[in-house]
Amino acid sequence: MNRVSTFAAIVLAALALTGRLGSTLGAEQLRVLPAGKLPNDKRLEPLKNLNGYFPFKPYSTPAQWEARAERLRRQLLVALGLWPMPSKTPHNAVVHGLVDRGQYTVEKVYLESFPGHFVTGNLYRPKGRTGRLPGVLCPHGHWRDGRFYEATPQEIEKEIAAGAEKHRVGGRYPLQARCVQLARMGCVVFHYDMVGYADSVQLPHRPGVREAMNTPENWGYFSPQAELRLQHMMGLQTYNSIRVLDWFSQLPDVDPQRIGVTGASGGGTQTFILCAIDPRPAVAFPAVMVSTAMQGGCTCENCCYLRIGTGNVEIAALFSPRPLGMTAADDWTKEMPTKGFPELQQHYKMLGAEGNIMLAALLQFKHNYNYPSRAAMYQWFNTHLKLGAATPVVEEDFEPLSRAEMSVWDDRHPRPKGGEDYERSLLRWITEDSEKQLQQLTPKDTASLAEFRSIVGGAIEVLIGRSVPQPEQVELASVGESQLGRWRAKTLLVRNLSAGEELPAIRINPVKSNGRVIVWIDKIGKQGIFDEQGNPREPVGRILDSGASVVAVDLFGQGEFTADGKPMMRNRLNASDKEIKTHYAGYTYGYNYPLFSQRVHDILTLIAAVQKSGTKPEDIYVVGLGGVGHWIAAACAVAGPSIGGAAIDTDGFRFATLTAIDDADFLPGSVKYGDLPAMLALAAPTPVWLAGEKEVPALVQAAYKSCGRPDALRLYVGPPEETERSAVDWLLR
């Protein structure tokens, strides 16, 4: 079979899929690439996952880093569901149950991060000190029982024999050991629970995917509806840390300018994430977590968008130039001395703070926060919190707390209710709060429109991940030319050089050009501009006869991207031997853009390529009808003045109706930020012809009115069968 007949077969299959199939394919339409050859596109490679390689390339100047840091910090906040920050409510902290250990005291604490949601822990205070003291937050990792962790006698003896622990008490209670020693050094210390550990009893740590919680209303975590609003365990845990810091920094005996944070493993993740997004901590020490290798295996360490284009080393660099100490062990951090840490050293040197970065490479030990690791942390905090302790700091033995002495719940302070009904109520509060915030951002004038663009537009930029590429980032390669009736057709390869992406495209030029270019996007790709005989369809012919060129493309997962020419209908997901990893969205979209975003990337790349061919932005129009209008709306939201207008048929699409995380149009966070109407609103003042809506959404109307261009928006409410003709009439106006 030659490549012409192969392409014909593909077109037939694709047209059959969309109901555009006729009896024969008359004219010969060439593929851009030879039959059986896929585009040279990085996105066809296996998905990236948490076990990939995540290098950090330092920037040359502080100004370059400052611009990158602003963008990356926004990415983190959006990914964590904290852009904008939820409405902060009273923490209502309760401190009780004082235990006096002579040199220090320990109290029980619970406080509310969200109304009715409790963060629990123990507050250590040194005795005999006055004034405001340095403070240290201690999130723990995935130790057995968390804050209540107690090693077995066999584990202790093994650790002592290996030199990992010095004292049997410290080895038996290593999490308590660091809190006690820091208190003895003069710090106020708060040791608090991860979600679902120790006294955090309202939600399990990894509730996982549950069919009963995947409902259009009153959903739970790990459901599509939760992910569409960026509601997940990592966001909850990070917000808990922020609220802990709110309360802790206001204690009368804590100096808010001298607060350190340290944790290991999952607690290390909590440490560097909190310190990356919050300016208040002064010193950080994430142990055995920061590396270019495995990025964190738990659902509490992963969420959508978090590590796309970045990794833990660069995220940790967001703390710069403040003092950042770390440890490495014989685990995924073992290569840090040669991969990751040298780059951090170069980065800190570029900022003039080379003395503020340190790595204790204790590669003789497995994953830990053992005595030598704690000793490195004590010295780091002693120096940078200006504790004035004698050096070297030697951890002393102590009398451990019993579980009863640590637990915050008792008869006078009963455990709060939890379970799935509570989980639904928590997410309902978070959802309603977010919706109120969005409502308050509805544009009313130019100033409020600017704020809407900054917050909602800033979030949509993260969800999509790109704007229109710069000219030097794209390449337009001509593959061939042929006569197509009275018009001339060119087959092209459109390349995004910086992203390693390649798109097969066709450009049909009119007999006499007026300089305008119509970018026609179809749900089956570039085949969609042809009729069943292989000629340009009637509306495309009208455009060509008007003097405008038409460009069509195979977006990622369409046409020549697939072996059979049929468009991909599902997102690929990262699989794992653990069922939860197969279904948790963060394991896939935390490292890879959704198919929806990738297709919008291609539209933006094509716009840049058309511009590079010599067309002025105001002469470029984008068309998305027949089920692809939401792609065009998203492209318009980030394209700004790069196009002259768009014809969009939404077909009533809303992201909120999606029920599966592998749906081809699934876009985490899209509902949180106003769904499709918000994207349409961000297009203002771009001229838009709009179909598929019974009326113009209020948010869209407000945006166009606020920028003084209500006339730039035209709503079509005529018969569906006349939609395409009306859109072309608007284009030819």
- Mean pLDDT for 166-195 is 97
C-beta of residue 534 within 8 angstroms of C-beta of residue 14: no
pLDDT number for residue 583: 83
pLDDT number for residue 54: 98
pLDDT number for residue 29: 57
φ and ψ of 494, to 5 deg: -100, 120
pLDDT number for residue 336: 98
Q: Is the pLDDT of residue 647 over 70?
A: yes
Q: Distance between the two ends of the chain, CA-based, in angstroms?
A: 44
pLDDT number for residue 5: 36
C-beta of residue 460 within 8 angstroms of C-beta of residue 74: no
Spatial separation of the C-alpha atoms in residues 346 and 340, rounded to whole Å = 10
pLDDT in tens, 300-325: 999 999 999 999 999 999 999 999 99
Count the neighbouring beta carbons within 10 Å of the beta carbon of residue 437: 16
Closest to 192 measured CA to CA, from 300, 252, 270: 270
Distances (CA, A) of 589 to 306, 557, 597: 8, 17, 11
Residues recorded for the chain: 733
- The secondary element (H helix, E strand) that includes residue 502 is strand 501-509
Least trusted range by pLDDT, from 20-34, 209-223, 570-584: 20-34
- Residue written as token pair 């179809």: 522
pLDDT number for residue 468: 97
Mean pLDDT, rounded, of the chain: 94
Q: Is the pLDDT of residue 2 over 50?
A: no
Spatial separation of the C-alpha atoms in residues 124 and 119, rounded to whole Å = 16
Q: Which two tokens stand for residue 278?
A: 């919050």
Spatial separation of the C-alpha atoms in residues 328 and 288, rounded to whole Å = 5
Least trusted range by pLDDT, from 119-123, 273-277, 531-535, 688-692: 531-535
C-beta of residue 151 within 8 angstroms of C-beta of residue 172: yes
φ and ψ of 106, to 5 deg: -130, 130
The band of 18, judged by pLDDT with boundaries at 50, 70 and 90, is very low
Count the neighbouring beta carbons within 10 Å of the beta carbon of residue 122: 27
Three-state secondary-structure class, residue 4: helix
C-beta of residue 14 within 8 angstroms of C-beta of residue 565: yes
The band of 22, judged by pLDDT with boundaries at 50, 70 and 90, is very low
Q: Is the pLDDT of residue 382 over 80?
A: yes
Q: Is the pLDDT of residue 722 over 70?
A: yes
Spatial separation of the C-alpha atoms in residues 466 and 666, rounded to whole Å = 17
The band of 3, judged by pLDDT with boundaries at 50, 70 and 90, is very low
Q: Is the pLDDT of residue 13 over 70?
A: no
* Three-state secondary structure string covering 559-601: HHHCCCCCCCCECCCCCCCCHHHHHCCHHHHCCCCCHHHHHHH
Q: Is the pLDDT of residue 4 over 90?
A: no
- Mean pLDDT for 460-465 is 98
pLDDT number for residue 582: 53
- Residue written as token pair 């409902």: 215
Spatial separation of the C-alpha atoms in residues 649 and 446, rounded to whole Å = 27
- Mean pLDDT for 97-109 is 98
- Bridge partners (DSSP) of residue 188 are 135
Closest to 295 measured CA to CA, from 286, 81, 669: 286
Spatial separation of the C-alpha atoms in residues 294 and 283, rounded to whole Å = 24
- The secondary element (H helix, E strand) that includes residue 638 is helix 629-639
Percentage of the residues of the chain whose pLDDT score is greater than 70:
95
- Mean pLDDT for 77-85 is 98
Spatial separation of the C-alpha atoms in residues 336 and 662, rounded to whole Å = 35
C-beta of residue 140 within 8 angstroms of C-beta of residue 267: yes
pLDDT number for residue 110: 98
DSSP class of 87 = P
Spatial separation of the C-alpha atoms in residues 176 and 162, rounded to whole Å = 21
- Mean pLDDT for 218-229 is 97
pLDDT in tens, 273-298: 999 999 999 999 999 999 999 999 99
User: Biggest alpha carbon distance in the chain?
Assistant: 95
Burial-class residue 249 by CB neighbours within 10 Å (0-12, 13-18, 19+): middle
The DSSP result for 9-35, as a single string, is HHHHHHHHHHT---S---S----SS-T
pLDDT in tens, 433-455: 999 999 999 999 999 999 999 99
Q: Which residue type does 256 have?
A: P
pLDDT in tens, 352-374: 999 999 999 999 999 999 999 99
Spatial separation of the C-alpha atoms in residues 417 and 415, rounded to whole Å = 7
pLDDT number for residue 494: 98
pLDDT number for residue 534: 87
- The model carries a pTM of 0.94
pLDDT number for residue 23: 27
pLDDT number for residue 533: 85
pLDDT in tens, 508-561: 999 999 999 999 999 999 999 999 888 999 999 999 999 999 999 999 999 999
C-alpha gyration radius of the chain = 29
Closest to 229 measured CA to CA, from 564, 546, 668, 542: 668
Q: Is the pLDDT of residue 9 over 50?
A: no
